[in-house]
Amino acid sequence: MDEPAIQPMPKPEWALSRRELKKRALLAAGIQPARFPWMWAGAAVVVVGLAVFVLPSMLAPQASTPTEAAAPATDVVKRLLTVDVATAAPATLAETLKATGSLMPRRSIAIASQVNGTLKSVEVRIGDSVRAGDVLATVDVETSEIQLSQQRSTAAATRAQLAQAENQLERTLRLADSGLTPSATVESEKASIEALKANLAALEAQVAAAELVIRNATIAAPFDGIVAARSIEPGQLINSGAALFDLVDLSVMEMTAYVPVSASPKLSPGQGVSLSVEGLPGQSFAAKVEGVSPVAAKGTRTVPVLISVPNPDGQLRGGMFASGAITLEEAKGALAVPDAALREDADGPHILKIVDGALLRQPVTVARNWSSSRLTQLGSGLVAGESYVAGQLDDLKPGMRVTVVEN
């Protein structure tokens, strides 16, 4: 006998989902719930996906061959910045050598005292401009003036004694000629005269020395200049040799530059130098080489070069740092292009000229390379006023169309 099938226990109401609760309610009311067409819904989803992803690709036009693809535009215009374009113009080319150093006045002197004494007055201060002969300070020399007066009096008395002795010698000589005076007396008087002459010479030297002390008591400027330092004050007791002032003449400044000894054969006095000075931006000062040392500085392989620069306006000051270039060689009115503008291929050197908005290969001949300015002087191939590519742009080729735009 077949055993009856075990029926599953119904779910308690609290475990039913909302859909199951709705289904139970419909069955209780005698209504058969409708079945959702899951298969048809899935088919609809597949159809919609095909319509979205497959149909557009089927409808898009396909190129039959690769040659039917859109060809790139052939009339492409290359943009060049103004910094990469230049116009040929005659210029002065120069081979230069770098020079740096500190500026110092050509004339500078430390003024010292030549006498002992007390400073009576000091007439100038630091920064004052003076002319040659202007009084800078004076030393009280009252004692020296008294001594000078005494020495002058002593010298005058000795001079009178000498004159009297010379007169007496003349009388003695007349008497000696008559045989009335012995020759010994003549010789004695001559010796006295010689002694008086020597004594008078010594006194006159003392007078001259005293006069010199009095003159040196007035300290005067030896040349036109500016007081750079002052080490004294009125009333100060000073000794001979004591430092008083520093006086400088700024009309001409000098600089000692050190250049490689290998470059010294190219240097000679008179060569021009263009200097720029720290603290004076945007200004250039014309200088020249004054002298070149024949030997290198000790312990180095550099040669000292003396450079002078006029300073009529007094803008330059001692200690300012200057840098510039010594002109070794020069070529005026030459046509040159930057080294980066020069190109070379199998046919030789050339540049890219810009003619009617297009690049043209222009053969050139090289006359000389100026390494310090990074310019190449051309012998032919370029005319003043023609535009060319000055930058090193490797992607540019002859025949390209170009336009120049601002940086």
CA–CA separation, 131 and 152 (whole Å): 34
Residue 33: predicted pLDDT: 61
Start-to-end C-alpha separation, the chain: 105
Mean pLDDT value across residues 318-325: 94
118-135 per-position pLDDT tens digit? 999 999 999 999 999 999
Residue 151: predicted pLDDT: 85
pLDDT, greater one: 49 or 342: 342
Q: What is the DSSP string of 314-366?
A: ----TT-EEEEEEEEEEEEEE-EEEGGG-EEETTEEEEEEEETTEEEEEE-EE
Mean pLDDT value across residues 388-395: 89
Rg (CA), the chain: 54
The share of the chain scoring above pLDDT 90, in percent, equals 45
On the question of pLDDT at 321 being above 90, the answer is: yes
Range with the poorest average pLDDT among 40-44, 139-143, 360-364: 40-44
Residue 107: predicted pLDDT: 93
183-206 per-position pLDDT tens digit? 777 778 888 888 888 888 888 888
Residue 372: predicted pLDDT: 79
Mean pLDDT value across residues 84-95: 90
CA–CA separation, 186 and 175 (whole Å): 10
Q: What is the DSSP string of 224-235?
A: SEEEEEE---TT
Mean pLDDT value across residues 263-282: 92
Q: How many CA atoms lie within 13 A of 41 on its CB side?
A: 4
Which of the four pLDDT bands, split at 50, 70 and 90, describes residue 150? confident
On the question of pLDDT at 94 being above 80, the answer is: yes
Token output for 325: 């270039």
Mean pLDDT value across residues 49-77: 48
Question: 272 in helix, strand or coil?
Answer: strand
Residue 16: predicted pLDDT: 64
On the question of pLDDT at 102 being above 90, the answer is: yes
On the question of pLDDT at 108 being above 70, the answer is: yes
Mean pLDDT value across residues 264-274: 92
Residue 48: predicted pLDDT: 47
Mean pLDDT value across residues 211-229: 91
228 touches 246 (CB < 8 A): yes
Residue 336: predicted pLDDT: 93
Mean pLDDT value across residues 5-18: 59
275-316 per-position pLDDT tens digit? 999 999 999 999 999 999 999 999 899 999 999 999 998 899
67 touches 300 (CB < 8 A): no
Q: Which of 143, 142, 161 is nearest to 153 (CA)?
A: 161
The pTM (predicted TM-score) of the whole model is: 0.58
Mean pLDDT value across residues 331-354: 91
Which of the four pLDDT bands, split at 50, 70 and 90, describes residue 62? very low
Mean pLDDT value across residues 166-181: 76
Per the prediction, the chain carries an average pLDDT of 83
Residue 203: predicted pLDDT: 87
CA–CA separation, 96 and 328 (whole Å): 5
On the question of pLDDT at 66 being above 80, the answer is: no
The share of the chain scoring above pLDDT 70, in percent, equals 82
Residue 187: predicted pLDDT: 79
172 touches 187 (CB < 8 A): no
Which of the four pLDDT bands, split at 50, 70 and 90, describes residue 144? confident
